[in-house]
Chain A
Amino acid sequence: MSKHNTLYERYSRQVLLKEFGEAGQQKLLQSKVLMIGAGGLGCAALPYLTAAGIGNIAIIDDDIIALHNLHRQVLFSVNDIGLSKALRAASVLRELNPEIIIEAFNERLTVKNALALLDRYDVIIDGTDNFSARYMINDACVLLNRPLIYGAVSKFEGQVAVFNCSINENERSVNYRDLFPQPTVDAEIANCAQTGVFGVLPGIIGNMQANETIKLLTGIGTVLINKLLTYNALNNSLFELALMAGKETRNLIPPNAAAFEQMDYDWLCAVRYSSFEINSKKFDELRAGTNVAVIDVREYGEMPAVDEFNYIHIPLAEIAEKSATINNDTIIVFCQSGNRSLQAAKLLADTFGNTKKIFSLAGGILQWKHQS
């Protein structure tokens, strides 16, 4: 059978749909899609995107397959444990449809490689499992004007949306930062590793992402532009929400490629609150750096006095109102034993968001003096 005939037969049942037709198939075959993450969402979306005949599909993931992935990451088998998710997924998908191009990148998406990679594809699908990657991908899609098919799961619930789509020449639909402008406190939100996830859920949400992708590329139906769809697997409820653009969104996204590459998304998200605390050794390293403010947040006159290094004095009660006077990029706070300084660090983080790095000396000045 000639290649043309195989193609015709392979896609015949969807080409028969008058809404889809030959034109829809041609659009898919000419499209390039990047799936970020070959986990639960990726394993669900990828086979359908591959089967539907998207001409070029790329997968990026630096993770390896583990036994505890198999209850939801159904592209993989027990023989794959220890292998690269991206490479293994690509090889399974090539068997499903050898007539399209499937690329695999066994590497981590970072601020250094994201823009160059994402720029090569028409649509980006987020199937990652952490906020750091999600904010980074969102910001990159905004900078590159790429639509982003968002999907996320937690326990028995999942969310789907299509972000940053072109509405007309000057207007794009809302993006993730219109929904959640700043990353949340890490301790609040746990990922699959901490809270667990119902195996079939990412299967459903990943398929919804594939569906939105195919509709967007072919122009059929309506896609979740300026909408967030939430699905609950336990009671089958669907909740669709209209999303409004935020006033501050544009200011939160790095303005250009150079600023994007300087972003520290890990620090901004996962690490933001949990890693405020530093030990005495790290404290000494950090305060030796440039553009650092070291702040004693104890009340005036508290003992022991500190004369070993330079610092400024802003008691905890005054830290919020006086934060505007701090111009340094890095702020290290300390107190007697580390409790008040941790509170101060959180207050400062709320004020400065991602614009400054903030640390608190664990164990306080008492422990520092003991160890010095």
Chain B
Amino acid sequence: MIMRVEIILFGQLTDIAGSNTIAVDDVQNSDELVTAINKLYPAMAGIKYIVAVDKKTIQTNTILNEKTMVALLPPFSGG
């Protein structure tokens, strides 16, 4: 069975994907997920964002499963 991870996007990542949520298949960990996203959306490759797994920011490569919720948040500067 294909493992599918749901990803919530914020900021300009939403503009690039054209949606607030995307899904990526068959990634085992957060590093693989970022690589897969960069392949799907090359415009995201140059963008800095934080990766949150189950509503927690991560500092190292993190194992994902089908129930994991991933969020990608770029910084905002406006005021």
List A residues at the B interface (Cβ < 8 Å): 37, 39-42, 126-131, 134, 151-155, 157-159, 178-180, 184-185, 188-189, 191-192, 195, 197, 202, 228, 230, 232, 235, 239-244, 246-247
Contacts and interface: CB of A to CB of B under 8 A. Distances in A.
B48 A128 contact: no
12 contacts: A40-B78, A41-B79, A151-B79, A153-B78, A189-B75, A189-B76, A192-B78, A197-B78, A230-B73, A241-B56, A241-B73, A244-B59
A40 B75 CA distance: 18
A197 B11 CA distance: 12
User: Shortest 4 CB-CB distances between A and B: which pairs?
Assistant: A154-B76, A152-B76, A129-B79, A184-B48
Contacts of A188: 12, 46-48, 74
B63 interface: no
A262 to B, nearest CB: 23
Interface in B17-69: 20, 46-48, 50, 52, 55-59
Nearest to A178: B57
A261 B46 CA distance: 31
Given A189-B12, A230-B10, A239 B79 contact: no
B8 A154 contact: no
A239 B75 contact: no
Contacts of A202: 78-79
B11 to A, nearest CB: 6
A157 B8 CA distance: 14
Contacts of A152: 75-79
Given A154-B12, A241-B55, A242-B57, A179 B50 contact: yes
A239 B77 CA distance: 18
Interface residues of B, number: 23
A42 B79 CA distance: 8
Interface of A is mostly: mixed
B5 interface: no
A159 B75 CA distance: 9
A128 B75 CA distance: 14
B59 A157 contact: no
Interface of B: 8, 10-12, 20, 46-48, 50, 52, 55-59, 71, 73-79
Contacts of B52: 241
A153 B74 CA distance: 11
Nearest to B73: A230
A153 B57 contact: no
A129 B50 contact: no
Contact of B79 (A128, A185, A235, A243): A128
B59 A40 contact: no
Contacts of B55: 239-242
Contacts of B58: 244
A185 B48 contact: yes
Nearest to A36: B79
A265 B12 CA distance: 24
A158 B10 CA distance: 10
A247 B77 contact: no
B20 to A, nearest CB: 8
B6 to A, nearest CB: 14
Contacts of A41: 79
Given A157-B11, A230-B10, A184 B56 contact: no
Contact of B77 (A40, A42, A131): A131
Contact of B78 (A179, A184, A191, A241): A191
A158 B79 CA distance: 9
A133 B79 CA distance: 11
Most buried by B among A152, A158, A189, A191: A189
A210 B46 CA distance: 34
A154 B48 contact: no
Contacts of B8: 239
Contact of A241 (B59, B71, B77): B71
A163 to B, nearest CB: 13
Nearest to A38: B79
Contacts of A157: 10-11, 76
